[in-house]
């Protein structure tokens, strides 16, 4: 994987790419809120010699800093498209974990015919109809929560709450330690992320996935109402849903072999 950069009006995005043939399938790995490219280490190890692979540190995250918090979910999708164009990639399969899955849906809204496939890992639908008014109200007010909780508690709950395995928990802890000594930045990243998510939901757009898609969700995913959302998403949109037994919110770190196999089978079906 080669580290590269893309310059935006708000700052510079760092991403890593391994491209052998730009006209073949590219796995576009999008980490969740406050996580970074390391979230997909197990997927990169497995796939980088099978397909083109690209992964980013999302705007304002990890090495994509300094960055002004003056962007929305659609800006992220546009910048992602610019990066794919910069690399000449024509067949993106977006694999989004949590917030990464929302970026994928914003991408589908803006570029309905560009995605070759979409895989949601412990994410949820972006349509307004799935969330309550209270949930949207809370999303807009999370930054002070992250700013005022003791950092040691945040570090413990943030790493233990998203994963069930030692590997998944230690990896999340490692990613969170990027912000050790700068809790304000961590709170800004989280708070801004939740606000732009709420704003995208309030736009009440269709966010229709027109390409082949697959939903995955850990049976022990207790981040928000992920399990409830995925059941409803599967039921309403008729997108296949696979439960990752015993996995938490970061299924791809708790059960990487199963997740990798599911991604591989999904891509084989759309080739």
pLDDT at 193: 98
pLDDT over threshold 90, residue 196: yes
pLDDT over threshold 90, residue 96: yes
pLDDT at 224: 80
- Using alpha carbons only, give the angle 92, 54, 175 rounded to the nearest 5 degrees: 130
pLDDT over threshold 90, residue 239: yes
pLDDT over threshold 90, residue 8: yes
Task: Average the pLDDT over 98-115 and give the result.
Answer: 98
Task: Average the pLDDT over 121-139 and give the result.
Answer: 97
pLDDT at 271: 84
Whether 32 and 250 have beta carbons less than 8 Å apart is answered as: yes
Domains in the chain, ordered, with CATH? 2-126+206-270 (3.40.50.1820)
Nearest CA to 233 out of 215, 253, 259 is that of 215
Tell me if the pTM is above 0.95.
Answer: yes
Q: In degrees rounded to 5, what are phi and psi of residue 18?
A: -130, 105
């Amino acid at each position: 994987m080669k580290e590269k950069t893309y310059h935006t009006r708000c700052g510079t995005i760092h991403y890593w790419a391994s491209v052998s043939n730009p006209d073949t399938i590219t796995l576009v790995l999008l980490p969740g809120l406050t996580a970074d490219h390391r979230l997909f280490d197990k997927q990169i190890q497995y796939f980088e010699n099978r397909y083109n692979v690209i992964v980013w540190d999302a705007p304002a995250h990890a090495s994509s800093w300094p960055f002004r918090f003056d962007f929305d979910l659609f800006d992220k999708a546009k910048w992602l498209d610019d990066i794919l164009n910069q690399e000449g990639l024509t067949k993106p399969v977006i694999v989004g974990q949590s917030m990464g899955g929302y970026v994928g849906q914003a991408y589908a809204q803006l570029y309905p015919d560009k995605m070759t496939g979409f895989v949601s890992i412990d994410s949820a639908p972006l349509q307004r109809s799935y969330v309550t008014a209270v949930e949207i109200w809370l999303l807009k007010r999370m930054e002070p929560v992250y700013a005022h909780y003791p950092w040691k508690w945040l570090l413990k709950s943030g790493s233990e709450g998203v994963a069930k395995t030692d590997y998944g928990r230690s990896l999340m802890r490692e990613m969170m330690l990027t912000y050790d000594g700068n809790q304000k930045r961590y709170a800004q990243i989280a708070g801004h992320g939740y606000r732009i998510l709420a704003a995208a939901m309030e736009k009440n757009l269709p966010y229709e996935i027109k390409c082949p898609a697959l939903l995955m969700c850990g049976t022990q995913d207790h981040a928000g109402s992920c399990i409830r959302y995925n059941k409803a998403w599967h039921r309403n949109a008729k997108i296949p849903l696979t439960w990752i037994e015993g996995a938490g919110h970061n299924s791809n770190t708790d059960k990487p072999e199963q997740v990798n196999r599911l991604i591989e089978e999904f891509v084989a079906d759309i080739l």
